[in-house]
Amino acid sequence: MIIRALAWLRGVQFLLWIWVPFTDGDPGRFAPQVLAGYVVAALFSVALFTVAVKRDTLSARWVCADVVLAVVYAIVVSRSYPPVEAASITNWVIPPLCGVTVTAAIYGGRYRVPAVVLVVGAWVVGAWPALGTDSSTELLSNNVMMALFAGVAGITGKLLFETAGGADRAAAETAVERGRAERASERERQIRHLHDTVLQTLEGIAQGARGSGLDEVRRICGAEAEAQRATVLAARPDGTVASVVQALAVMVQDHPAQKELHQVITKFDSRLPDLPAEVVEVLTGATREALNNIVKYARTDEARVTAALLEPGGIKVTVVDHGVGFAAGTTPPGFGARRSILEPVAGIGGKAFIDSAPGEGTIVEMTWTP
């Protein structure tokens, strides 16, 4: 939600300047670096938020690149304007710089404050010639605006992340407890069933109350075996459905990644329907293998597992890490990636792919629709 809001904000901030060259009366009066910088910055922002929406997060590398580019155009473009216009609305860099400070304040981590200070400082350096002109007041007000926006965004973003994280953890814990309770109930049912059937038969044979001869004992055992076989088959017919949310939550909760990594973030859509047991089993196993590979090869301290509704009645499971990654076109680390992720998901009629780049982490995405 935050990433999409930032993307819309940045888009509007760039669009604010579109009217200036045409209403100014002389579009050709702008220096080449003004228009060229605008195009480069806009295209970079498109790439930035396209990747961010796809990965459901903003990595430190992208935030750093966003800040560095902002510093460059804050100075170069602002210095290309006449001093009286450097701090005015005709300078297109002002709104996007606000967007960069807001993004850095939310996703800059421990470097959020230095990043914001760097961007604001670059703006001051670029627009400094405006001092002593009619735009002096705007130079000061824009500084205050960028700093305030960044401060409010940083605090708000932190509160939203903490609230969402708490809700996700509570939902995961609830799903885990529900799954454990259901498994305990199922164990009790199985024990009661065995006590009332197989154990009663065996005790009767041992005490001589049933089966007067070997042939009779064989007949009784055969009949009991058929009854138990029918019970096992009835437990998982082709149409049986299972809770994918509970299966994933229990698997993640019990996975070694909970001890090996600093944090395993889960986000499971509460609208997900129960799915065929085979689909749940395959998706859970593939997710487990993806987490195994993160623990073994990613060299990171965080992983993210999400399960989202995919209409009509389908599911998309995504496992993301921001570890070392690997080059596109090469074999993913871990022998089981193809055997335990790609092939099983294809076997149930789903789709799976693994996307990665050196230093950008890895995305494992699995989808299934009825």
Q: What number of helices (H) and strands (E) belong to the chain?
A: 14, 7
Average pLDDT, the chain: 83
Report if pTM > 0.75. no
**Average pLDDT of 133-149?**
84
Taking each helix axis as running N to C, give the angle between helix 2-15 and helix 94-107, from 0 to 180 degrees, rounded to the nearest 10. 170
What DSSP state is assigned to residue 84? Answer: G
Contact of 83 with 133, CB cutoff 8 Å? yes
Nearest to 283, CA basis, from 356, 361, 342: 342
Contact of 224 with 197, CB cutoff 8 Å? yes
**Average pLDDT of 106-119?**
90
Taking each helix axis as running N to C, give the angle between helix 277-293 and helix 244-254, from 0 to 180 degrees, rounded to the nearest 10. 30
Share of the chain above pLDDT 90, in %: 30
Contact of 299 with 323, CB cutoff 8 Å? yes
Rg of the chain over Cα atoms, rounded to whole angstroms, equals 30
Classify residue 123 by burial, with Cβ atoms within 10 Å: 0-12, 13-18, 19+: buried
SS3 266: strand
Taking each helix axis as running N to C, give the angle between helix 112-127 and helix 60-79, from 0 to 180 degrees, rounded to the nearest 10. 10
Contact of 129 with 86, CB cutoff 8 Å? yes
CA 80 – CA 30 distance, rounded (Å): 8
The strand pair at 314-321 and 275-276 is best described as unpaired
Residue 335 reports pLDDT greater than 60: no
**Average pLDDT of 190-199?**
64
What DSSP state is assigned to residue 338? Answer: I
Residue 238 reports pLDDT greater than 50: no
The amino acid sitting at 251 is M
Residue 211 reports pLDDT greater than 80: no
CA 53 – CA 4 distance, rounded (Å): 7
